[in-house]
A and B are shown apart, each in its own frame.
Chain A
Amino acid sequence: MYGSASTHDLPSTAPTGLENEDPILLAEFEARIARGEKIEPGDWMPALYRKQLTRMIEQHAHSEIIGSLPEGTWITRAPGFRRKMAQMAKVQDEVGHAQLLYSAAETLGKTREQMLVDLINGKSKYSNVFNYPTPTWADSNVISWLIDAGAIVNQLANAKGSYGPYCRALDRICAEEAFHLKYGHDAVVHMATGTPIQRKMMQEALNRWWPAIMTFFGPSDKMSVHTEILMRWKVKMASNDECRNQFLDMYVPKIWEIGLTLPDANLRKNEETGQWEFTEPDWEDFKRVINGDGPCNAERLAVRRAAEENGAWVRRALSAGKTHQYVRPLA
């Protein structure tokens, strides 16, 4: 699960360092990408490409493990065998995605251990939606369906990017996310067409999550920083607004179809432009939350920190006597 609602865009004022790169190698690199070739771990790449990709894949990996927490708390409370086993398998997949992604990021030179240290110190970000609470079973279902749906829109685009290990990991991840989508949809439909208690729970959960879902793909393109180089290098593959519009196109009709409403009176598709119109999300609140002041930021990181600290003795035991090894990508 992942969105662009993090901070991997390149600030327009940031130095690119491109003037220090070998112009011939750089031209060859760009020509390869333009031809649609994939860049592999041992290949030459500009420092900026390595840095941006590391940051992006790392944030994606963090989003998977942090994202497993809000749904994970519902494994022990899932109603009935069928849901309990499916919820476990679904959340397990997300942790497996993190494993694939950390491996892809490690091929760029940063260790998993260092990435996790940066996560718990607040240096690295993760998808902002996971800083919101999941107070009911229905909230967990909304994540399984709609956050995973958003993630698929985003990840299918990024799977066409230029870095081989990341693209191959995304292909595998998207295949699993497609099952999550079906699982989430099935759970939501059961609730939305169920007893009055279930319908009320589901509508309230959707109302709670809708503002966060609208920010899932990140700030509007008109507010976005300059990303021309990242687009040319196929690090960033689709604009935030394009992804958001595609998501609304695919899922708003499905939400309405099962009798649920959305808490935005201005939400409608403009048939002339093909674009969805909606109340502009509260981007100030988004910035405040992503910078650490959301309802669950502290709790999420505290859980992760405790896991790292409690498990440190196991990792010390595993690495006893070993030196650094070559990292082979899992995909």
Chain B
Amino acid sequence: MDPKLDLLYRLADDQLILGHRNSEWNGLGPILEEDIAFSSMAQDKLGHSLQLYGLLHELGEAEPDTVAFTRNAPQFHCCQLVELPIGEYDFSLTRHFLFDHAELLRFQALADSSYEPLAQVARKLRGELKYHALHANTWMKRLGTATDEAIERMQAALNFTLPYALGIFEKTDAEAEIISSGLFIGEDELQSRWLESITKVLGQTALTLPDLATATPVFGGRHGQHTEHLQPLLDEMAEVFRLDPTADW
């Protein structure tokens, strides 16, 4: 696949699917303020994915609605982390923390992309992602230093989620060209910045980052291999859209 398309599909699909998952917190948050916060982040992520699908459309791909609402799981390039069900708040918060640190650093780097339309979008998005990371940090510090119960739950969630989070940095065949053409700094460099960033926050909590050397990254998503959770999510998302594909909703 063309390196630009390869990169954009990964970025857009991650944002769409996590945005969709975050929106499932409606009515279920541990406090109302978190219902509202997760909804705000979900709206941002949907908006981000729309902008990125817009760039894809400019490069000759189908309309954003068609791309988002009519593909099946094997055609998606998101990492498996974002497609997992929301579970309980400890998992969703941990996923949000691990993902949005990577996302903030990714879009900060993309602001200098050689592909100017993407650089422009990145310069806008990084400002919003800063607040997503800030939200995650606030809650990780709060719960990661609170009761024994909260610390235990957050530690278990971190242990479970980390291998999936490493899957964010799965490379594709286009990786070398993406780096050499100046499109993006590459996944290895991003992972190294991410590790530094999350380690700094976790250092202010009673939580311990599991040993990365012994963790097995969950790869496959970038190559269209997904968990059993993605296709039902897509079926649900397209349920109304597919009722009448000719309709203007």
State the A residues within 8 Å of B (CB): 65, 68-69, 72, 74-81, 83-85, 88-89, 91-92, 95-96, 98-99, 102, 137, 187, 190-191, 194-195, 197-198, 303-304, 306-307, 310-318, 320
Contacts and interface: CB of A to CB of B under 8 A. Distances in A.
B82 interface: no
Nearest to A100: B32
Contacts of B233: 76
Given A95-B32, A315-B30, A316-B147, A197 B23 contact: no
Nearest to A81: B50
B237 A77 contact: yes
B244 A198 contact: yes
A314 B89 contact: yes
B interface: dominant SS: helix
Contacts of A304: 27
A261 to B, nearest CB: 21
B83 to A, nearest CB: 13
A296 B243 CA distance: 25
Interface size class of B (residues with CB under 8 A): 35 or more
B163 interface: no
Contact of A75 (B26, B40, B68, B143): B26
A19 B247 CA distance: 65
A306 B28 contact: yes
Interface in B23-49: 23-24, 26-36, 39-40, 42-43, 46-47
A88 B89 contact: no
Contact of A92 (B26, B28, B50, B64): B26
B116 interface: no
Most chain-A CB neighbours within 10 Å: which of B24, B27, B65, B89? B27
Contact of A198 (B34, B39, B247): B247
Closest 7 CB pairs of A and B: A311-B30, A317-B146, A314-B30, A317-B150, A92-B39, A79-B249, A72-B26
Nearest to A300: B27
B228 interface: no
B236 A316 contact: no
A203 to B, nearest CB: 15
Contacts of A187: 249
A77 B239 contact: yes
28 contacts: A78-B240, A79-B241, A80-B65, A81-B65, A85-B47, A88-B43, A88-B46, A92-B39, A96-B36, A99-B32, A187-B249, A190-B248, A191-B249, A194-B247, A194-B249, A195-B246, A197-B244, A307-B30, A311-B31, A313-B30, A313-B153, A314-B34, A314-B89, A315-B30, A316-B150, A317-B142, A318-B146, A320-B147
Contacts of B40: 92
Given A98-B32, A99-B33, A68 B27 contact: yes
A79 B34 CA distance: 25
A314 B36 contact: no
A95 B32 CA distance: 7
Nearest to B50: A81
Contact of B149 (A72, A307, A317): A317
B153 A95 contact: no
B126 interface: no
Nearest to A76: B236
A314 B31 CA distance: 8
Nearest to B54: A81
B243 A197 contact: yes
A85 B43 CA distance: 6
B49 to A, nearest CB: 8
Interface in B1-59: 20, 23-24, 26-36, 39-40, 42-43, 46-47, 50
B141 to A, nearest CB: 12
Most chain-B CB neighbours within 10 Å: which of A91, A96, A317? A317
A98 B36 CA distance: 11
Nearest to B151: A317
Given A88-B23, A89-B43, A80 B31 contact: no
Contacts of A75: 23-24, 26
Contact of A197 (B69, B142, B239, B247): B247
Contacts of B23: 75-76, 88
Interface string B229-243: 000010011011101
B89 to A, nearest CB: 6
B243 to A, nearest CB: 6
A188 to B, nearest CB: 11
B33 to A, nearest CB: 7
